[in-house]
Protein backbone atom coordinates (compact mmCIF):
# COMPACT_ATOMS: atom_id res chain seq x y z
CA UNK A 1 0.00 0.00 0.00
CA UNK A 2 1.28 3.51 -0.69
CA UNK A 3 2.52 5.42 2.35
CA UNK A 4 0.37 8.18 3.73
CA UNK A 5 1.85 11.62 4.13
CA UNK A 6 1.12 13.90 7.02
CA UNK A 7 -0.19 17.29 6.09
CA UNK A 8 1.00 20.37 7.83
CA UNK A 9 -1.93 22.23 9.34
CA UNK A 10 -1.91 25.98 9.52
CA UNK A 11 -1.65 27.55 12.94
CA UNK A 12 -4.88 29.21 14.00
CA UNK A 13 -4.65 32.24 16.22
CA UNK A 14 -6.62 32.10 19.43
CA UNK A 15 -9.42 34.71 19.50
CA UNK A 16 -9.22 37.38 22.16
CA UNK A 17 -12.94 37.00 22.85
CA UNK A 18 -15.75 34.83 21.57
CA UNK A 19 -17.89 36.76 19.09
CA UNK A 20 -21.69 36.69 19.39
CA UNK A 21 -23.62 34.95 16.66
CA UNK A 22 -24.19 37.34 13.79
CA UNK A 23 -27.24 37.70 11.56
CA UNK A 24 -24.95 37.85 8.51
CA UNK A 25 -22.53 34.97 8.33
CA UNK A 26 -19.69 34.07 6.01
CA UNK A 27 -18.45 30.69 4.80
CA UNK A 28 -15.32 29.16 6.25
CA UNK A 29 -12.61 28.93 3.60
CA UNK A 30 -11.43 25.56 4.98
CA UNK A 31 -14.57 23.84 6.25
CA UNK A 32 -17.53 24.77 4.09
CA UNK A 33 -17.52 22.00 1.54
CA UNK A 34 -19.74 21.95 -1.50
CA UNK A 35 -20.83 18.65 -2.97
CA UNK A 36 -20.38 17.72 -6.59
CA UNK A 37 -22.39 15.22 -8.62
CA UNK A 38 -20.56 12.97 -11.06
CA UNK A 39 -22.05 10.36 -13.36
CA UNK A 40 -19.98 7.32 -14.31
CA UNK A 41 -21.76 4.82 -16.53
CA UNK A 42 -25.33 4.64 -15.11
CA UNK A 43 -24.45 5.70 -11.55
CA UNK A 44 -24.46 9.11 -9.84
CA UNK A 45 -21.91 9.90 -7.14
CA UNK A 46 -22.17 12.87 -4.74
CA UNK A 47 -19.16 13.83 -2.65
CA UNK A 48 -17.30 16.96 -1.44
CA UNK A 49 -15.65 18.62 -4.42
CA UNK A 50 -12.66 19.98 -2.49
CA UNK A 51 -10.62 16.81 -3.08
CA UNK A 52 -10.98 17.16 -6.82
CA UNK A 53 -10.23 20.89 -6.67
CA UNK A 54 -7.09 20.34 -4.56
CA UNK A 55 -5.68 17.40 -6.48
CA UNK A 56 -6.72 17.86 -10.11
CA UNK A 57 -5.68 20.72 -12.36
CA UNK A 58 -8.34 19.65 -14.88
CA UNK A 59 -11.19 19.73 -12.34
CA UNK A 60 -9.88 22.92 -10.73
CA UNK A 61 -9.95 24.68 -14.12
CA UNK A 62 -13.31 23.24 -15.11
CA UNK A 63 -15.05 24.04 -11.81
CA UNK A 64 -13.65 27.57 -11.51
CA UNK A 65 -14.78 28.71 -14.97
CA UNK A 66 -17.91 30.90 -15.23
CA UNK A 67 -20.94 28.84 -16.21
CA UNK A 68 -23.14 31.55 -17.73
CA UNK A 69 -26.87 31.64 -17.06
CA UNK A 70 -27.33 27.84 -17.07
CA UNK A 71 -27.12 25.75 -13.95
CA UNK A 72 -23.49 24.59 -13.77
CA UNK A 73 -22.70 20.93 -14.27
CA UNK A 74 -22.04 18.94 -11.15
CA UNK A 75 -24.34 20.74 -8.73
CA UNK A 76 -27.47 18.61 -9.14
CA UNK A 77 -28.57 15.13 -10.14
CA UNK A 78 -30.17 16.65 -13.24
CA UNK A 79 -26.83 18.05 -14.52
CA UNK A 80 -24.01 15.79 -13.32
CA UNK A 81 -20.48 15.95 -14.63
CA UNK A 82 -20.33 12.94 -16.94
CA UNK A 83 -17.08 10.99 -16.95
CA UNK A 84 -16.62 8.59 -19.83
CA UNK A 85 -13.94 6.02 -20.52
CA UNK A 86 -13.85 4.72 -16.94
CA UNK A 87 -15.96 2.21 -15.07
CA UNK A 88 -18.06 2.90 -12.00
CA UNK A 89 -16.10 0.20 -10.15
CA UNK A 90 -12.85 2.06 -10.85
CA UNK A 91 -14.40 5.34 -9.71
CA UNK A 92 -15.75 3.74 -6.53
CA UNK A 93 -12.24 2.46 -5.76
CA UNK A 94 -10.85 5.99 -6.17
CA UNK A 95 -13.53 7.35 -3.83
CA UNK A 96 -12.69 4.65 -1.29
CA UNK A 97 -9.21 6.17 -1.10
CA UNK A 98 -10.29 9.84 -1.25
CA UNK A 99 -13.33 9.47 1.03
CA UNK A 100 -13.02 6.33 3.15
CA UNK A 101 -16.17 5.43 5.07
CA UNK A 102 -14.06 4.93 8.18
CA UNK A 103 -11.36 7.60 8.40
CA UNK A 104 -9.52 5.54 11.04
CA UNK A 105 -8.81 2.65 8.67
CA UNK A 106 -6.97 2.44 5.39
CA UNK A 107 -9.05 0.87 2.63
CA UNK A 108 -8.24 -2.78 1.97
CA UNK A 109 -7.88 -2.96 -1.79
CA UNK A 110 -6.48 -5.68 -4.01
CA UNK A 111 -3.53 -5.07 -6.29
CA UNK A 112 -5.90 -4.63 -9.26
CA UNK A 113 -7.99 -2.17 -7.26
CA UNK A 114 -4.89 -0.10 -6.41
CA UNK A 115 -3.87 -0.16 -10.07
CA UNK A 116 -7.24 1.28 -11.07
CA UNK A 117 -6.90 3.99 -8.38
CA UNK A 118 -3.47 4.89 -9.78
CA UNK A 119 -4.88 4.89 -13.32
CA UNK A 120 -7.67 7.33 -12.45
CA UNK A 121 -5.53 9.54 -10.25
CA UNK A 122 -3.08 10.04 -13.11
CA UNK A 123 -5.73 11.04 -15.67
| Helix, strand, or coil (residue 99) | coil
Q: If we measure between CA atoms, which residue out of 10, 61, 63 comes closest to residue 36?
A: 63
Q: Is the pLDDT of residue 80 over 60?
A: yes
Q: Is the pLDDT of residue 69 over 60?
A: yes
DSSP class of residue 36 equals E
| Helix, strand, or coil (residue 107) | coil
Cβ 38 vs Cβ 74: under 8 Å = yes
Share of the chain above pLDDT 70, in %: 85
Amino acid sequence: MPPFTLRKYEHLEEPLAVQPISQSSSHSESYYWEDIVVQVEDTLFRFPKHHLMERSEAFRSMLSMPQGSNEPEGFSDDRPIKLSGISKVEFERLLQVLHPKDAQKQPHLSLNAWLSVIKLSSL
